[in-house]
Structure 1
Amino acid sequence: MVTPTHYRIFRHGSTTYFYSTLFFPRSVREDVFLLYSFVRTADDFVDAVPQQTAEYFAFKERYLGALEGEPGGDLVVDAFVDLMERKEIEPAWVEAFLRSMESDLWTATYATVADLEEYLYGSSEVVGLMMARVMGLSGDALEAARALGKAMQYINFIRDIAEDLTLGRTYFPQDELAAFGLSSLDPETAAAAPEAFASFVRAQVERYFRWQKEGEAGFAFIPFRYLVPVKTASDLYRWTAEEIQKDPFVVYRRKVKPSPLRAVGRACANTLVLTWPGRGETG
């Protein structure tokens, strides 16, 4: 059951996900709230300044206890474990997610894109897999769900370059930074080599677009009643990417995020487009 705690966590965590999720049917919407509250809570512990390491590991222990049938009275954890059982969410996916969250406690950089993709699998691809189970999608949709989750996480990395620097992290392959002649993504380094920085960021945006295209190929497997919110979230992330692509230095000035009005407007537009005569409903 969704409680005010779940609502608060989700409402304050993500404009894009929150307003897109409102367009799911109620039963799915509530399950998405439970899923997001769990992953956001873990993420908030490792992203806190200073990091809340003890709180994170206590949270993990409560999860492991609940998984073994010993609910600990944590609304977020207990509801999520119940969701896992109802929707057949694989414990291995949650394990991978927690492993990536823990890496944020001690890993600041990634040498290659292969190293980064190992982190991305746990931090975002498995969340896409969990969402696919929440929506009851077929196995045919799972690879696309992974790709879409990875794409959305990657544009967050690009958007949050400045914020992550304050946490001592850079979520981009160090060998690619070097290939563009950049020693770091510090504002001073970027200002000293503006063309190199802009080219680097646009190259990362292009990687996001490739992964997003792979993810959106899975839209064919999503029933109409679930497609509107999923497509809306994807559209809003594309808007974010396009804003950054036009002006890469915007990441140092502000956090590029769609407004609630844009989010709701996009969802309404998708509802109209996807129900246009001749298109029909899928599922």
Structure 2
Amino acid sequence: MTDLENAYRDCRRINAQHGKTFFLATRLLPAGARPATHALYGFARIADEVVDNPEPGSDPDIGLAELEQRLDKLFAGNPQNDPVLVALADTIRRYGLDRELFDAFLRSMRMDLTVAEYETFDDLAEYTYGSASVIGLLMLPILGTVVPQREAAPSAAALGEAFQLTNFLRDIGEDLDRGRLYLPVAELAAFGVDRDLLVWCRAHGRRDPRIRRAMAALVAHARAIYRRAESGISLLRKESRPCVRTALVLYRGILDEIVRRDYDVLARRVAVGRGRRLITAAAYAAGAGLGLRS
């Protein structure tokens, strides 16, 4: 096995370990598209770890600056010794991925070090674009389209945004523990909810009808974004559609679980059960005449 093959295998392992829902969906991709998808996930995971789980005594800001410098070298054609970056360099070369999208991603990661909350959805837009929408845009050349990529770009960006907002709703308790609140303050305030109320309810295991109403409104907002994203699946290359539809259905299923738990998102992390994930993926695989690939 070559060094490049080993590098892609490491990315696959990272995806399988840390992104179970997304990894399951990638098993519906053609074999040629899966390694690049894992490489993008691996890179995003590196940045997440720098910000959220830095090594003891390390400075996340310096860590991100070093990652940016390594990207500079990568785009300049200089070899890298990190397996994820080796795989990423090959992916960038194969698909001609845009450096500006990676820069936008790192800007959003840096925002996590300085911005604790956002007032409105407009204020949040730069963060969600860089942290999520650009991932959808980076995936477009890998997935392939049946129209010019610029026509499929809005739906791809919307899917990333929908996934991210779903994460914000699912992970609100963990984010509060880190001192962050991604759900827009003004949207929460419309229902009488603020950070102090959220923190108090999480700390005391209590529920509040104001929080329930706010979460219901935000779930509805996320569903509307999923509808925009779903309209773009038909613009993808046919063999890529089962993967993207599976990812969309499974991530949107997290919203279903939030509703099923009566919007109780503070007590524990909401997730779609493994059985439901497998059944959904198998159904879309069967519909496309595929099997779940390893």
Settle same-fold status: TM greater than 0.5. yes
Q: 2:177 and 2:152 mapped to 1: Cα distance?
A: 37
Letter in 2 for 1:132: L
In structure 1, the residue matched to 2:68 is 60
1:145 aligned to 152, 156, 162, which one? 156
Alignment CA distance shift 1:39-1:91 (3 Å): same
Deviations 1:200-248, CA, capped at 9 Å, x for gaps? 0111111110111000000111233211111111111111101102335
In structure 2, the residue matched to 1:7 is 12
Deviations 1:122-173, CA, capped at 9 Å, x for gaps? 0111100011111122322111000011101110110000110111100011
1:130 aligned to 129, 132, 138, which one? 138
In structure 1, the residue matched to 2:292 is none
8 Å contact kept, 1:63–1:78:
no
Equivalent runs, 1:44-123 vs 2, <5 Å: 44-48=49-53, 52-123=60-131
Deviations 1:76-125, CA, capped at 9 Å, x for gaps? 12321321221121111111011001111111101111010111110111
2:22 aligned to 17, 30, 41, which one? 17
Between stretches 47-56 and 252-261, larger displacement belongs to 47-56
8 Å contact kept, 2:144–2:240:
no
Q: 1:55 and 1:267 mapped to 2: Cα distance?
A: 37
In structure 2, the residue matched to 1:207 is 221
In structure 2, the residue matched to 1:236 is 250
8 Å contact kept, 1:93–1:126:
yes
Alignment CA distance shift 1:117-1:17 (3 Å): same
Alignment CA distance shift 1:193-1:272 (3 Å): closer
Q: Are residue 156 (structure 1) and residue 167 (structure 2) matched?
A: yes
- Point out where structure 2 has 5 or more consecutive residues left out of the alignment: 290-294
The alignment of Structure 1 onto Structure 2 pairs a total of residues equal to: 276
Deviations 1:6-30, CA, capped at 9 Å, x for gaps? 1231112211101111111111011
Between stretches 217-226 and 189-198, larger displacement belongs to 189-198
Alignment CA distance shift 1:250-1:148 (3 Å): same
Q: 1:152 and 1:192 mapped to 2: Cα distance?
A: 27
1:27 aligned to 32, 37, 44, which one? 32
Aligned-partner SS, 1:245: helix
State the identity %. 33
Deviation at 1:269, TM superposition (A): 0.7
Alignment CA distance shift 1:263-1:189 (3 Å): closer
1:171 aligned to 167, 182, 187, which one? 182
Aligned-partner SS, 2:118: coil
- Point out where structure 1 has 5 or more consecutive residues left out of the alignment: 276-283
Deviation at 1:254, TM superposition (A): 2.4
8 Å contact kept, 1:15–1:259:
no
Deviations 1:168-213, CA, capped at 9 Å, x for gaps? 1000111112211112152425777711100101111111101110
Aligned-partner SS, 2:79: coil
Between stretches 58-67 and 188-197, larger displacement belongs to 188-197
Normalised to the residue count of structure 1, the TM-score between the two structures is 0.90
Q: 1:251 and 1:193 mapped to 2: Cα distance?
A: 9
